[in-house]
Structure 1
């Protein structure tokens, strides 16, 4: 099976209304498609990278789906304090060594939150309405300790209020008549966010007592220029994470400033080649073009040039 590029929601300024909409929790995890052709299985993320090794408890779809062949779409999450934590799931997703995966798996249990089925028993379901696909998904999923069928609700406003109260990332609203367009992104699926996030590239660091203690972030414009959007040191990174980052950037230090303009926070900064990408939460954008109260969630494996300025209007 060729990897499918997932269908994506667009950002909505207000909640949609009407009986044709359902709402689901927006999980702060890793988008993942599960493939099974009857003999071979793979977990592949939205960028087409295999992640079967990282999640052995999900490596056998026949254990959680009764279909003879299937493609499922969902989000792999890990919990911290009862809430999905991107930092925690990245502790699993970033591992490459089998021994390390075996050691960390009991410490960071994961859930596969499945919300769509694209292929079932040799038949593509892409052109079927979401309502029909959800019915098929419900019929095909088997009870499993690491897999859940994402519930849908017919009152988006109530779910959004509950997500706000629970400190969750937001909700996704979907038209029940919507077909699934691989690689597509349109208003038939809409995300209503409570917590804003951005993926940004680090172009500089500051040190304290020999360790990196903050990073300077930027986003690229259409001309390929990197614009400074702020610095962050607060977040979920541990002391060991900062030590690993300090070692990682040792060969990346450069005298050439990567930003198009000199950042406000340039005193004491050390420039690095813009190669490392991070996911951050933030409160809002300042009129100066920098973000307010950024919080580092985790380092992510994304190409630096994917960190674009249009996230300021599309996240």
Structure 2
């Protein structure tokens, strides 16, 4: 399973235990529930690799875990710890009892994890499944992030990526309406996206500048939007990018891939697939997403 969380390496030298994220920023004090490594790991010294996740409605939520990982005032850790419990999903071990074991095959490293890790509420071992296609179908049905395919004979490549570990992500689609654009060197380079609610109001849901559009496509968009440019912002809510934005009449529609809805009802990781001939008024929030507003607009 691909857990939608924050990658964390755990270092223990027999005396001190410290946590670091993939950018080498220390996270030891962000996750006090993981501080006593001897409660769940029997190694005398160890480096563990895993992902810290937080659940929302029973599923891993990147937004929720970032509420913990993004804390800047560590005095707030105790209160947010109660509001957002986390779990450390351990999937690999690099160093054990004074010895680097990155040259061991993954299957042997996982056997070592089974021996040295005792799961508890905030620490779990990532389970493996032989049938990747079946697992992916479950992920898709549950609308989770995806799966990771790993070669059981593979060594651990520090600072490297290769085909022995492959991410297969599950993306969802929707048709969104373009309410604004940003430009670089007078060429459109990003679309501000929106959807209509049941009352006909137009809400900002995110911006996208990546995807399948070519340089020619962007040039064509730059010419095509000219009749749609207007002085007023069309969205009910304010996008974070207001400076140097050209506002458009909400008529142009585009197919978008995205990973999930996040709080505030914004799209995570939206990417542009193609422009489509769909009436803008038909581009409304999914019913299941509207239910999560819990009385708030839209």
Could you report, residue by residue, the CA deviation over 1:121-153 in whole angstroms, capped at 9, with x for unpaired residues?
A: 111111111001000111110232200000001
Q: Is 1:286–2:273 an aligned residue pair?
A: yes
Which residue does the alignment assign to 1:30? 6
Q: Provide the residue aligned with 2:70 in structure 1.
A: 94
Superposition deviation, residue 216 in structure 1: 7.2
After TM superposition, the structure 1 = structure 2 runs for residues 1-315 of structure 1, keeping only pairs within 5 Å, are 25-195=1-171, 227-231=189-193, 267=230, 268=232, 271-272=242-243, 280-281=267-268, 285-287=272-274
* Kept after mapping to 2: 8 A contact 1:34/1:61: no
Q: For the Cα contact (< 8 Å) 2:181–2:188, is it kept in 1? A: no
What SS does the aligned partner of 2:83 have? coil
CA contact (8 A) 1:196 1:284 kept: no
Greater RCO (CA < 8 Å, at least 6 residues apart): 1
| Higher share of residues assigned helix | 2
1: distance between equivalents of 2:91 and 2:156?
A: 12
Whole-Å separation in 1 of the counterparts to 2:127 and 2:188? 41
**Structure 2, unaligned runs of 5 or more:** 197-203, 205-217, 234-240, 245-261, 277-282, 287-298
Q: CA deviation at 1:167?
A: 1.5
Alpha-carbon distance between aligned partners in 1 of 2:183 and 2:116, rounded to the nearest angstrom:
42
Is the contact between residue 95 and residue 101 of structure 1 (CA under 8 Å) also seen in structure 2? yes
In the TM superposition, residue 218 of structure 1 has moved relative to its aligned partner by: 7.8
Following superposition, the deviation at residue 231 of structure 1 comes to 3.4
Distance in 2 of aligned mates of 1:89 and 1:233? 26
Change (3 A) 1:166 1:217: farther
Aligned equivalents of 2:15, 2:137: Cα separation in 1: 43
Q: Are the aligned partners of 2:195 and 2:284 in contact in 1 as well (CA < 8 Å)?
A: no
Cα distance per residue 1:9-35 (max 9 Å; x no partner): xxxxxxxxxxxxxxxx00111111111
Asked which structure has the greater CA Rg, the reply is: 2
Aligned partners of 2:284, 2:30: CA distance in 1, in Å?
Answer: 32
Quick one: distance in 2 between partners of 1:215 and 1:97?
Answer: 36
SS in structure 2 at match of 1:132 = helix
Q: Distance in 2 between matches of 1:81 and 1:152?
A: 23
| Matched length | 224
Q: Deviation per CA, 1:51-102, whole angstroms, max 9, x where unpaired?
A: 1111110122222211011111111000011000111111111112233111
CA contact (8 A) 2:55 2:86 kept: yes
Change beyond 3 A, Cα 1:218–1:39? farther
